[in-house]
Homo-oligomer: A and B are copies of this chain.
């Protein structure tokens, strides 16, 4: 894709991990004439001013998007409709409106209705993040080597799509284009259900009465601690993800539970070969992830060695 990634004015709405990472990257890269940070929280806006990564910072959504060439909504997916409603009347013709939400079908359903004709609406999802949240947690390299999935509506202006793709490429991302429905299924498997499972096992473990919480934490290096990282992700963001990708999450979760029950039966009946075969197959998946540079090959994520 060969679009020219420069925009005169870029407005980021919602300055958490993702919004503040984009803003920080725009301080280093020649992609925007002016960067405006908008957030409904006065406290966040105050912090943005202290951190100094935006040219303007405001809680006034309408003023923030006036004359903007690119507007990116970086709020939890449950808040996308309200953002679109607030900014819709203030958008200029030809502006590109995008987002960074982890669900796409529900974002389209919420936002499109509030956006005026003449605006290019191109939903996006940078598959990047950490377990930390808030304006202090961002860093400009967050998107390096990570995928950014675009889900443009059919018939959307190709030049606008290419320009947004070029912008994300300049931030370090690799681009993939797919439908919102396919996105929501793929991410249910690779992100949403894994997060739910992690939240659940951390919850179960912390509940267990026979064992003090102290012991669960003390001996967490046996495997449990790997789950706690993603179970520390932003509660509001993830509540919204599950409520907004219900169909795909419930479908994948049904399969997961079915498989787990079968495994439970293997254990109860001492069917060791079935366990061994699964554990061999999963090891191969890990190798593929490392071969495709989607993770580090360092033992124990590199935590083990000094």
The chain A residues found within 8 Å of chain B, CB to CB, are 102, 127-132, 137, 139, 141-142, 144, 146-147, 149, 176, 185-187, 189-208, 210-211, 213, 215-233, 235-236, 238-240, 242-243, 246, 249-250, 252-253, 255-257, 259-261, 263-264, 267-268, 270, 272, 275-276, 278-283, 285-289, 292, 294-296, 299-306
Contact = CB atoms under 8 A, between A and B. Distances in A.
A145 to B, nearest CB: 9
A306 B200 contact: no
B197 A215 contact: no
A275 B233 CA distance: 13
Contacts of A130: 299-300, 304
A40 to B, nearest CB: 18
A259 B204 CA distance: 7
B226 A275 contact: no
A186 B199 contact: no
A284 to B, nearest CB: 9
A259 B146 CA distance: 33
B301 A218 contact: no
A300 B299 CA distance: 15
A282 B231 contact: yes
A191 B222 contact: yes
A203 B219 CA distance: 26
Contact of A235 (B144, B239, B279): B279
A306 to B, nearest CB: 5
A238 B263 CA distance: 13
A186 B203 contact: no
A211 B239 contact: no
11 contacts: A139-B304, A147-B219, A147-B221, A200-B256, A203-B282, A208-B252, A218-B292, A228-B282, A235-B276, A239-B275, A257-B264
A285 B231 contact: yes
Given A191-B219, A239-B279, A301-B303, 7 more contacts: A185-B211, A190-B215, A190-B224, A205-B285, A235-B275, A246-B270, A301-B302
B211 A189 contact: yes
A267 B280 CA distance: 33
A163 B299 CA distance: 30
CB-based closest 6 A-B pairs: A191-B222, A130-B299, A232-B286, A235-B279, A194-B223, A231-B282
Contacts of A246: 267-268, 270
Contacts of A216: 186, 189-190, 285
